[in-house]
Amino acid sequence: MTEKQLTGGQMIVDCLIREGVDRVFAVPGHGNTALLDAFVDRSDEIQVIPAMHEQGAAHMADGYYRASGKIAAVCTSIGPGATNTLTGLVTAFADSQPFILITGAVHTYMENRGVLQEIDRPHGNNFPRMAEPVVKRWWQPSRLEQIPTVMAQAFNTMNEGRKGPVLVDVPQDLQAEFGTYVHVPGHRRPRTRPTGDARTIAEAAALLASAKRPVILAGGGVIAAEASEELRSVAERLGAPVTHSFMGKGALPADHDLYAWPCGDMGSIPGNRMTTQADVVLAVGCRFSDRITSSYKEGITFNIPAKTKLVQIDIDGFEIGRNYPVEVGIVGDAKSSLALLREQLGDGRDYHGTEYFEELQDYKQRWENHLAPMRETDYLPMTNSRAMVEIRKALPREGILVTDSSNPANQAFNEFPIYGPKTNIVAGGMSGIGFGLPAAIGAQIAAPGTPVLAMVGDGSFLQTGTELSTAVMLGTPLVVVVLNNGGWEAIKDLQISLFGADRRLITNWCTPDGKPYFANIAEFARSLGCTAERVEDPARLAEAIERGFATEGPVVIEAMSAHELPWSEMHPTGWWDIAVPAYHGETRDEYVAQRGF
């Protein structure tokens, strides 16, 4: 046991270092100045990285963890400095990704006076209650001696069970004042994984072994538990096609012969065909959201429980049976539970040459044929599908692709091959544009020797593109491909398909004289210090990306992309419940008839 006099800020820094945190993404302000000063004397042990906006800082820490499995910290000021992190918090919370947010707070002796940037209604010093729904837990220490315990509990909370972000809101006086710091050596966290009940796993194994058409659905829990190898082994023992959610992509390599591409509204032909015809589905670490289930419309993606029995493994018991009833529900860690399931299944079966296997291969070929016209076309401006073919050529197999939402992410989900876990980073549950670029910066910092490419739309880039400044200051060798179509193309196409071409509103950007507006992404990026170029010919995109990976510092490639149907359309094979207003007559009637509820 060691005891010494430290400020609260110094205590926090020491706790972070002892927990193995080596990166802090920060925006300075008066509310965290004393805390930031404590990092100065420990700069050889922990690096403070400047972000341009607190949302960007949170996304960077999130991307850092997704790429490396190492927790990072975020440090911001009081008031707007804290509230700006909320989108980053909810993105990480929805996808069960941990980071520790440390914010400045009102001095303990001035709380509830309405001082500068205090959220003082209906309670004083009230930011934590704003964050409460999107963090696993929050702390607001009022005494210096609480800090070591708070920090230990924060890391316990992030790491136990279903992971997620936490908040420590630190009053400014505690950051600056001396107190007695006591470090008690020893471990505070278990070294074992919570494996599911052995008898229940044996029951699941018997059911799966007897299945004629088993299918495995991999969710983000497989990636989080580092259970890809166990998942592959179980799939091979069963001869089961493997489909996945947004967060589960990469759990099985895209070139594995059992890979079935994704399921859901933006799923694939093989993904949705295999799941609808399955007699048993093994779902691992998956929430069964509306996107993966075709908004729960029976027979489009799943037929549970009418024709399909569900075996579900999840670390969070709340998710078991949440959206579909289970035949067997297993609460446990994906890695250890799948390992035990693998043992129970024994040597398995030779699936090659079976009718079921050949059926999967046929559906996969149909999917390739379906995608081919948009992937092979020389149409200008280039289609997203063609752009992704060229990006995949240039991105090494082990490279990391980072997306966020809208057309780029949705199309990457169902047509961009990914070959390993943690090489596909996406804002899954919240699906917020603006995540991609800062998350890619965090991922590149976490994996400096690995090529990282952010693929985002111009709508996304214009939300958080200023974070390129961080990449420039650090010399981060990141490649950013911005698919520039002059608007919010995904929503514009949705407006047209649902309501008609004359119902577009604000999704087609234009100047006051009605001319189309396209931001000059390359010029903006150069103004921040990036290397940048505009590419219009898709045949030149791969070589531009290869040049980018060979260039020092961040590189932005502005790829002018299709902005008119049918060239801008995606490849949905399922159904998504997007509401149609009651005044749209027959269109509304058709929509209501399709609803799953």
Structure tokens at 119: 């959220």
What are the φ and ψ backbone dihedral angles of 459, each rounded to 5 degrees? -65, -40
Cβ count within 10 A of residue 330: 25
For residue 322, what are the contacts with CB-CB under 8 A and spacing of at least 6?
287, 288
Which residue reads 């538990």 in tokens? Answer: 225
Peptide bond into 566 cis (omega under 30): yes
DSSP label at residue 465? G
Q: Coil, strand, or helix at residue 386?
A: helix
Tens-digit pLDDT profile for the chain (597 aa)?
Answer: 678 999 999 999 999 999 999 999 999 999 999 999 999 999 999 999 999 999 999 999 999 999 999 999 999 999 999 999 999 999 999 999 999 999 999 999 999 999 999 899 999 899 999 999 999 999 999 999 999 999 999 999 999 999 999 999 999 999 999 999 988 777 777 777 889 999 999 999 999 999 999 999 999 999 999 999 999 999 999 999 999 999 999 999 999 999 999 999 999 999 999 999 999 999 999 999 999 999 999 999 999 999 999 999 999 999 999 999 999 999 999 999 999 999 999 987 899 999 999 999 999 999 999 999 999 999 999 999 999 999 999 999 999 999 999 999 999 999 999 999 999 999 999 999 999 999 999 999 999 999 999 999 999 999 999 999 999 999 999 999 999 999 999 999 999 989 989 999 999 999 999 999 999 999 999 999 999 999 999 999 999 999 999 999 999 999 999 999 999 999 999 999 999 999 999 999 999 998 878
| Spatial separation of the C-alpha atoms in residues 566 and 560, rounded to whole Å | 16
Whether the Cβ atoms of residue 480 and residue 506 lie closer than 8 Å to each other: no
Does the CA dihedral 293-297-299-303 come out positive or negative? positive
| Spatial separation of the C-alpha atoms in residues 223 and 226, rounded to whole Å | 5
Closest CA to 73 of 53, 102, 97: 102
